[in-house]
Structure 1
Amino acid sequence: MSASLLKTLRTALQTHHRFIAGALSHAEPPIYVIGNPSADLDSIISAVVYAYFGNLTARRHIPLINLPNVPSGPELYRLRPEFVKALHLSTHPALEGEQSWDETPESAGALLRDHFLTVADFAAQLKSIPTGTSGRLQADAVLVDWNALPITSRSGPQQQQPKGSIPGLESTVDFTVLGCVDHHIDEGFMPHGSQIKPLEIHTAGSCASLVTHTLQSLNLWHDSTQSTSTNTQTEPEHLTQLAQLALSAILIDTTNLTSKDKVTPWDTHAVEFLTRQLQPQTPPPTTLYNQVHQTKQNSLDFLTVTEILDRDYKQWTETPSSSSKPVEIGFCSMVKSLPWIIRKAGNAKAFLDAVEGFARARNLGIVVVMTAFTSPVKGGEFTRELFVVALDGNAHDHDIDNRDGDVATTALKHFVNQAVDKLRLQPWTALDVIDRLDQEEEIARSLVGNDEHADAAEGRYRRVWVQADLSKSRKQVAPLVREAVTSL
């Protein structure tokens, strides 16, 4: 019989400690299930759910939360409270033999510390290992919610099972990637051959949808409504825990299956399958969505502006066709409006300074901030805002006007020209409630930059484009940013 979710997580953490201490035989190495560096709800839950069912096989699986600067415990609770909410809903009421816990920093923090592993934990634990076990640790991994390690080995991705590392463990651990489940664009890191199992890279609203499909295809997750003998492998109440957890990620990423640009058959089929795993007394999926969504929205109240920008963050590199100098692009997503985060920063200038500091620290040429929230101005309608900044420091000798310029600013001009029609952009106005009209005007005046608004006093260029009512998601915006840079 399978164990409950929490018991499986405790056992996985114990296996991890034995592995890094050298207490496991060569025949028993575990597989780390690693989510992407944003460590958002979908990424964490995809790793947890995949690892749970992976532990029904001969290999032990350990979910690894990809946060190099955040230890498990109260700090993880503060930065990812929506995950704690989803976990609490999935494990309550507590099963027989399981201890109940509360959504408080003390109770939830202790539970997270005893059941979960972050990259920061991993790195700290390796430092405490006696010097007699020196040398780089060799570990196996499955990637979920991304499909390429950012630090590759010298042999490169051409090998049958690619190897590499991740920030925070780059000097201590080499990962051999055995499989991948992801819903992003294929970056070409994973070789498509029989040595990589599973290899599921498809467009979907949520990676958890693909994880659900993959576990079904691997004959690990069976429909609880079927009366086959294989279903005795997992208790119905355990299936309900995992179904609730996976559902929370899928519903949040697809806005309760209402986002027309994100929902795919992978998502609808997964929700149908997972809903069948729920017990009669389990709250309906919409209730689950509402509670996790509300927690995610409120979670930003306790973070700094920099932490908010970094919370759901993606970064990648593009190289213009006419230049060998690459451009670093950062993409920040948040579930509050631009005026909200500007008020949190103090004023528009303080927000711009925070964005610039965030970008400079990561050597970004372009930084994108996309908001997603329900607008009280528009009767509770779901809407987005797009805010894009091009920073100097990426010299480009031949811009579109045959004048010296910087590639980031030129790329942003290309992006604006393309995006107005393709993304159905509209002039920005405040779509959350702002009492003072002059505040709205001040925000627009500060954020919508042009040549006249360049900050000549500090010798830097800032190009900003702000629009509201953006109907497209990050998956539609990112390719346009990429094209704007590579086409130069």
Structure 2
Amino acid sequence: MFEFVKKFSLLINKLNNEVIVTQQRKKLYFVLGNESADLDSIISSIAYACLSQQLISPDELNSLSTSSFLIYFPIIQIPKSDFSLRPECSYVFSECEFTESDISQLLFLDDILPHLDKLSSNYDVNLILVDHNKLISPWSEKFNDKIDTILDHHQDERLYLNIKCRQIEFVGSATSLVVLHFKDVWKKKISRDDFRLAKLLLAPILVDTILLDVSKERTSNKDKEAVQFLLDILNIPKSDQDFYTSNYFNAIQSAKFNISHLSNIDLLRKDYKEWNLNNFNIGISSVNWSLEGWIQREDDNIDKLIDSFKYFKDEKKLDIFIIMLAYNHKNKGFQREFVFLSNKNKFIYEEFLQQLEVKLSLKPLFSNMDYIRFYHQERINYSRKQIYISIKDLLQQYPINKI
């Protein structure tokens, strides 16, 4: 099913052999997930590219000149070597019967960046954004006017307002929007090979909505509609659907939390996002582990863990660094913890942090120091997406000066 690297290599070979006629500006689409490259971003970008190529309408084909074509490349926005940090992704691809050979056909940042300038000079490169709605480097330097479509579920940054398709909704998973975007055309052309793709698409929706649990405030009717459509493609009888989705979800979660073999720095960069807000560089790492378990691995030496946090913060040149921890407790169920690091030895964000403590219902853990605070997060429905919005709002209400 995946032939992205093969097709990309053919394009690059043509460029290197200088057989491209520049006047013929053939059209390429790069489908970009966000830079955290989690299950939702990776699968929504792959699915959008596959379905776009597979379901192109006769009208679109007829409208293309003989010298033109449409081709879609999903770009996973991490180096290829970082894919191994995501065991849940490896599990889902394997469960959906995608082989190592299939996975080797996926395109990563380091596959495309060396060729980006030459590609954009010889082709009409357009971008489709899934699971985010604001370009970051290296794309933002050159492609702000090349965005064709956005399908996202994060806070609307109010950019690229006049593009062809712009759908930003607070659904649980961006993958749900991709499924529904293609649903009407797809259901008329379903083939046996679509079973694997349907099961692949099901994974991030179940994970992001926590099995469509409305009590977690992360599930919309569109998520439910997307899941039902995928289950219908998979021919899962109604009586078996809860059992099927529960087993699939639990297996993915088991793989996702199997990370204790990763180094501290790998854990921090595995699922990391960064923003510049009000001139402050803010980074948030999401880690599927408890502080207690993590500290125990460091021989019960919390200072070793703190040193890793500080090293990562300094390496990224962050003003504020947050580590969000999520894990399942055998008695208490799903839990969250929260670590906040300042870039100063003296903590200068007191009023800002006090407001964040109230908003997230943060309860102090351990003996906090001047530059770092540890918390239990009682409002577990606040994921990174919601915390980003809270931080953005609080920085406007309680401005803090860089000193």
- Would you say same fold, with TM above 0.5? yes
Determine the structure 2 residue equivalent to 1:440: none
Using the TM superposition, give the Cα deviation of residue 86 of structure 1 relative to its aligned residue in structure 2, in angstroms: 1.1
Determine the structure 2 residue equivalent to 1:334: 287
Paired with 2:311 and 2:224, the residues of 1 have a C-alpha distance of: 41
Matched-pair contact (CA < 8 Å) for 1:35–1:144? yes
Paired with 1:52 and 1:410, the residues of 2 have a C-alpha distance of: 49
Using the TM superposition, give the Cα deviation of residue 293 of structure 1 relative to its aligned residue in structure 2, in angstroms: 1.3
Matched-pair contact (CA < 8 Å) for 1:391–1:463? no
Paired with 1:361 and 1:338, the residues of 2 have a C-alpha distance of: 22
Higher mean C-alpha displacement, 133-142 vs 471-480: 133-142
Paired with 1:38 and 1:302, the residues of 2 have a C-alpha distance of: 20
Matched-pair contact (CA < 8 Å) for 1:416–1:465? no
Matched-pair contact (CA < 8 Å) for 1:182–1:201? yes
Determine the structure 2 residue equivalent to 1:41: 39
Matched-pair contact (CA < 8 Å) for 1:297–1:335? yes
Determine the structure 1 residue equivalent to 2:135: 149
Determine the structure 1 residue equivalent to 2:272: 313
Using the TM superposition, give the Cα deviation of residue 345 of structure 1 relative to its aligned residue in structure 2, in angstroms: 4.2
Matched-pair contact (CA < 8 Å) for 2:361–2:377? no
Unaligned regions of 5+ residues in structure 1, if any?
1-5, 93-100, 102-107, 152-163, 223-230, 320-325, 394-405, 429-443, 455-461
Matching of residue 375 in structure 1 with residue 381 in structure 2 = no
Determine the structure 2 residue equivalent to 1:221: 186
Using the TM superposition, give the Cα deviation of residue 141 of structure 1 relative to its aligned residue in structure 2, in angstroms: 1.4
Determine the structure 2 residue equivalent to 1:439: none
Matching of residue 165 in structure 1 with residue 151 in structure 2 = no
TM-score, with normalisation over the residues of structure 1? 0.70
Determine the structure 1 residue equivalent to 2:160: 190
Say which structure is richer in helix.
2
Paired with 1:175 and 1:122, the residues of 2 have a C-alpha distance of: 19
Paired with 1:175 and 1:31, the residues of 2 have a C-alpha distance of: 13
Unaligned regions of 5+ residues in structure 2, if any?
62-69
1:75-109 Cα offsets, whole Å, 9 max, x none, are: 355222211211122227xxxxxxxx4xxxxxx3x
Matched-pair contact (CA < 8 Å) for 1:90–1:245? yes
1:282-318 Cα offsets, whole Å, 9 max, x none, are: 98222211111111110x2232111111111111111
1:117-155 Cα offsets, whole Å, 9 max, x none, are: 10112235679x9xxx9968762210111111124xxxx
Matching of residue 85 in structure 1 with residue 81 in structure 2 = no
* 2:340 paired residue among 378, 381, 388: 388
Which secondary structure does the structure 2 equivalent of 1:328 belong to?
strand
Matched-pair contact (CA < 8 Å) for 1:147–1:186? yes
Paired with 2:253 and 2:90, the residues of 1 have a C-alpha distance of: 12
Determine the structure 2 residue equivalent to 1:355: 309
Matched-pair contact (CA < 8 Å) for 1:16–1:30? no
Using the TM superposition, give the Cα deviation of residue 337 of structure 1 relative to its aligned residue in structure 2, in angstroms: 0.8
Determine the structure 2 residue equivalent to 1:421: 358
Using the TM superposition, give the Cα deviation of residue 174 of structure 1 relative to its aligned residue in structure 2, in angstroms: 8.5
Count of aligned pairs between the two proteins = 372
Determine the structure 2 residue equivalent to 1:431: none
Paired with 1:254 and 1:292, the residues of 2 have a C-alpha distance of: 13
Residues 1:134 and 1:467: Cα distance change in structure 2 (over 3 Å): closer
Matched-pair contact (CA < 8 Å) for 1:328–1:363? yes
Which secondary structure does the structure 1 equivalent of 2:90 belong to?
helix
Matching of residue 301 in structure 1 with residue 260 in structure 2 = yes
Determine the structure 2 residue equivalent to 1:60: 71
Which secondary structure does the structure 1 equivalent of 2:151 belong to?
strand
Residues 1:79 and 1:420: Cα distance change in structure 2 (over 3 Å): closer
Which secondary structure does the structure 2 equivalent of 1:48 belong to?
helix
Using the TM superposition, give the Cα deviation of residue 467 of structure 1 relative to its aligned residue in structure 2, in angstroms: 2.3
Residues 1:24 and 1:247: Cα distance change in structure 2 (over 3 Å): farther
Determine the structure 2 residue equivalent to 1:246: 201
Paired with 2:46 and 2:208, the residues of 1 have a C-alpha distance of: 17
Higher mean C-alpha displacement, 260-269 vs 462-471: 462-471
Paired with 1:309 and 1:138, the residues of 2 have a C-alpha distance of: 37
Using the TM superposition, give the Cα deviation of residue 255 of structure 1 relative to its aligned residue in structure 2, in angstroms: 1.6
Using the TM superposition, give the Cα deviation of residue 211 of structure 1 relative to its aligned residue in structure 2, in angstroms: 1.1
Matched-pair contact (CA < 8 Å) for 2:360–2:378? no
Within-5 A mapping of 1:92-111: 101=99, 108=100, 110-111=101-102
Matched-pair contact (CA < 8 Å) for 1:200–1:214? no
Which secondary structure does the structure 2 equivalent of 1:19 belong to?
helix
Determine the structure 1 residue equivalent to 2:64: none
Q: CA RMSD in A?
A: 2.8
Paired with 2:139 and 2:273, the residues of 1 have a C-alpha distance of: 17
Matched-pair contact (CA < 8 Å) for 2:325–2:336? yes
Matched-pair contact (CA < 8 Å) for 1:65–1:118? yes
Determine the structure 2 residue equivalent to 1:483: 393
Using the TM superposition, give the Cα deviation of residue 212 of structure 1 relative to its aligned residue in structure 2, in angstroms: 1.2
Q: Share of identical aligned residues, percent?
A: 27
Using the TM superposition, give the Cα deviation of residue 267 of structure 1 relative to its aligned residue in structure 2, in angstroms: 1.3
Determine the structure 2 residue equivalent to 1:275: 231
Which secondary structure does the structure 2 equivalent of 1:410 belong to?
coil
Paired with 1:250 and 1:345, the residues of 2 have a C-alpha distance of: 34
Please identify the structure whose Cα radius of gyration is greater.
1
Paired with 2:110 and 2:133, the residues of 1 have a C-alpha distance of: 21
Structure 1 letter corresponding to 2:267: I
Using the TM superposition, give the Cα deviation of residue 202 of structure 1 relative to its aligned residue in structure 2, in angstroms: 0.8
